[in-house]
Amino acid sequence: MTKNLVVIGSQWGDEGKGKIVDLLTERAAAVVRFQGGHNAGHTLVVEGKTTILHLIPSGILHSNVMSYIANGVVLHLPSLFSEAEELMAAGVSVWEKLRVSNACALIMPSHIALDKAREAAKGAGKIGTTCRGIGPCYEDKIARRGLRLADLQNADNFRTRAEELLNYHNFLLKNFYQAETVDVAATIDEWLSFAPKIAPIICDTTLALEEHRKRGENILYEGAQGAMLDIDHGTYPFVTSSSTASGGAATGTGTGIHKLDFVLAITKAYTTRVGSGPFPTELNNDIGEHLGRVGREIGASTGRKRRTGWIDLPALRRAALNSCFDGICITKLDVLDELATIKICTNYRLDGKIIDIAPLGADELSRCEAIYEEIDGWQSSTIGIREYEKLPEKARQYLEKLEKILEIPIVIISTGPDREETIERKVLLS
């Protein structure tokens, strides 16, 4: 029985997690974000209305579900407030249903300034970050000089620690990057003014989740970004700064690993990537253009055009190994509908050898050449189909080939942006 479900992206992010989390949250009592920050962009379409969430869990749209932002998340309070206000304007009672861990690391304006300054200094070698301050905030957390939400509760202590941190940031900004510094006093005052507003929703999220578990309720762990952007297992250095693999759900929430029952890997029927870094199946041609246009591949957070390519099984094998996928959810199948032929990257050629799993890190991966198997396209619409048997035969063959090669069942197929446009072959959190 699945009571604790982890939903992560299996590629380089933007696989369509928001919709699936939103759909499955209907059956959960709690949904929790465990890593990343407002660099995520989860697009939900409910009854034709589009909502984009960056920080608040996608389950917030359900009235009887508690949403949690757990310890592993980096928190930019102004973004949280503006997202909450937008949702409240649409009638969502955010303050009643959202709880935030007192251990969340705080993203300060100087983290954002440092992120931008570092990217600018790197020039062509830049990571292509979202410039949201994510990396610099995680750096300070690991270096044990970061500020946490709990620190806001003691103004004197916060002032001392924040002053030290912001002065250090300003030193780097001014002397190393020749960039603009931040106003230390004004920033501290502004952040302290947030304290009373956030206080009512601060909690020990680990204990709160345990209470749900003790009551026998379902919990959904909502990943952000994708497994190949994992800080330890992704295409380093072209990664994000958190644990996007399924293990992040345990560390980011303080949940013991044995309590997590099922890892659902959200996987696009093709591949996209934003930012820099190797991408062996990238298509810089008309087909890539077609995938980008039909799939509307524009970043939900940054508005950047996503790079596009064929599905990449060696990369998925690496992600599956790291995250132990129990099932796959295929999204955006319809984007392939019009194509006469579809390619599946089954292996790479690296330095004259054929390999079937992506090597670790960016250097080796950038030398990999994709080896493809070609199949006929189905060339008919799959949009909105709700039963597996009603999919065109060749579309089923495509899915079954992926299942067979990866040896992982495809349990959900998304056939459109709306909640209803879904085929569920296994009912999770039932």
Q: Which residues of the shown chain bind ligand IMP in the complex (CB under 6 A)?
A: 12-14, 39-41, 127-130, 132, 134-135, 224-225, 229, 238, 240-241, 274-275, 301
| Radius of gyration in angstroms for the set of CA atoms belonging to the chain, rounded to a whole number | 21
Structure tokens at 405: 């090669």
Q: Which is nearer to ligand IMP, 3 or 111 (CB)?
A: 111
Structure tokens at 163: 């002053």
Q: Which is nearer to ligand IMP, 229 or 320 (CB)?
A: 229
What's the burial of 322, exposed, middle or buried (CB within 10 Å: 0-12/13-18/19+)? Answer: buried
Structure-token match 């659902």, residue found: 264
Residue nearest to ligand IMP (CB): 275
- Tell me the C-alpha distance between 234 and 227, whole Å: 7
- Least separation in angstroms between CB 168 and ligand IMP: 20
* Catalytic choice (14, 151, 230, 312): 14
Q: Which is nearer to ligand IMP, 205 or 244 (CB)?
A: 244
The percent of the chain in helix, strand and coil, each rounded to the nearest 5, is 40, 20, 40
Q: Which is nearer to ligand IMP, 130 or 414 (CB)?
A: 130
Say whether 42 is catalytic.
Answer: yes
CB 107 within 8 A of CB 133: yes
- Tell me the C-alpha distance between 235 and 58, whole Å: 27
The torsion defined by the Cα of 255, 237, 79 and 302, in degrees rounded to 10, comes to -130
- Least separation in angstroms between CB 56 and ligand IMP: 14
- Tell me the C-alpha distance between 16 and 414, whole Å: 9
- Least separation in angstroms between CB 258 and ligand IMP: 29
Q: Quick one: which of 393, 31, 63 has its CA closest to 208?
A: 31
- Tell me the C-alpha distance between 106 and 111, whole Å: 9
- Least separation in angstroms between CB 288 and ligand IMP: 17
* Catalytic choice (42, 62, 169, 212): 42
- Least separation in angstroms between CB 272 and ligand IMP: 8
Say whether 258 is catalytic.
Answer: no
- Least separation in angstroms between CB 325 and ligand IMP: 19
Q: Which is nearer to ligand IMP, 172 or 192 (CB)?
A: 172
Q: Which is nearer to ligand IMP, 264 or 391 (CB)?
A: 264
CA atoms within 13 A on the CB side of 346: 13
CB 229 within 8 A of CB 318: no
**Pairing relationship of beta strands 66-69 and 30-33 according to DSSP bridges:** parallel
- Tell me the C-alpha distance between 385 and 224, whole Å: 27
Q: Which amino acids are annotated catalytic?
A: 14, 42
